[in-house]
Amino acid sequence: MDLMKTLSRLVSAFGPSGAEGEVSQVIEELAQPYVDEIVRDTMGNLICRKKGSGPRIMFSAHMDSIGLVATHINEKGFVHVGALGGVSAKEVVYTPVRFQNGTCGLICAKEGADIDKLKVSDLLIDIGAADGEAAKKLVQVGDAAVYDTPVRTAGDRVIAPYLDNRVSCLVLLMAMEQLVGADNDLYFVFSVQEEVGTRGAKTAAWAIDPEYGIAVDVTGVDDEPGGKHQASALCGKGAAVKIMDRSVICTPALVEKLLALAEEKDICAQRDVLQMGGTDAGPIQVTRAGVYAGGISIPCRYTHTPTEMVDLRDVRACVELVAAFAHSEL
């Protein structure tokens, strides 16, 4: 699987929270050769199973992204919006966006708004319409818009929208290529609505009832300009083995297992303590009577902006660690 070609395809697929169908179709096509069965549940989670006689292991990477949703169209043809997930208004103003029907626009702010104190309620999308009547032929209330920025490389790093969390979907797909000989009962879940409350992973974990659950996601980093030590991971230092974030304290034995596998397989890895945010590991851990839960994360700079950044060496390390755990004796 070509890393950059596949990542570009995943990033460009339309898939904000609640409307993940397009990205789900791309992932299903890519996963088909490597698993025994693929199903979608009521929530829309895509569940890919590689059957085995060993313990049930659930890997979860959310496929939804943050975005904006149309709430009102004014008489001048501007689209008022609300947030889907954690959108920072001042970080997205003047970003190009697109709606699922192909309508393009530009995020702008209300006249007189203070950029330093900008709120999502101050944002509008200019779709080039002459007036409200023309705009309503292009966009309806409830339509979602996503960032429409390009994928670029910078040395060993890639800059793109929605690396959170399409890059983790890529990690699971690339790990699937290495499943030959794996005896464990493996479930690769591409979950929905993580950005609005880790909703998809909760129902998927209930149905699968895994013995082990690994969330694969991006994680915050401590090497952005002005970092305040809210995170421990660093770009380029390998797979980040999660110890905790605000949603989960990972099972200590599982943390040590992942770190030991990394050392045994000569996989570059680091310890991940994040004092903000959360992942699918949270709801997986507390499903039914409880699950041994952990996380494998890709360090990511500028998360939730239209131009996120990850190091491709970290991506490859995460692929190797996911594959190693899928093959491991538990």
Catalytic residue positions, numbered: 194
- In the structure encoding, which two tokens stand for residue 52, read together? 């085995």
DSSP sequence for 225-264: TT--SSB-B-TTS-EEEEEE-SS-B--HHHHHHHHHHHHH
Q: Which of 62, 283, 293 is nearest to 190 (CA)?
A: 62
DSSP string covering 134-192, please? HHHTT--TT-EEEE----EEETTEEEETTHHHHHHHHHHHHHHTT-TT--SEEEEEEES
* Contacting residues for 100 by C-beta, under 8 A, at least 6 apart: 14, 19, 22, 143, 144
DSSP reduced 3-state for 74: coil
Q: What are phi and psi of 150, to 5 degrees?
A: -80, 170
Residues 185, 37: contact at Cβ < 8 Å? no
d(CA 207, CA 60): 13
SS3 state of residue 196:
helix
Encoded tokens for 132: 């409200």
With beta carbons less than 8 A apart as the criterion, state whether 7 and 164 touch: no
Q: Report the alpha-carbon distance of residue 227 to residue 246 in Å, rounded.
A: 18
Instruction: Determine the 3-state secondary structure of 132 from DSSP.
Output: helix
Residue that the structure tokens 């890997």 belong to: 59
- Measure the CA–CA gap between 134 and 191, rounded to whole angstroms: 36
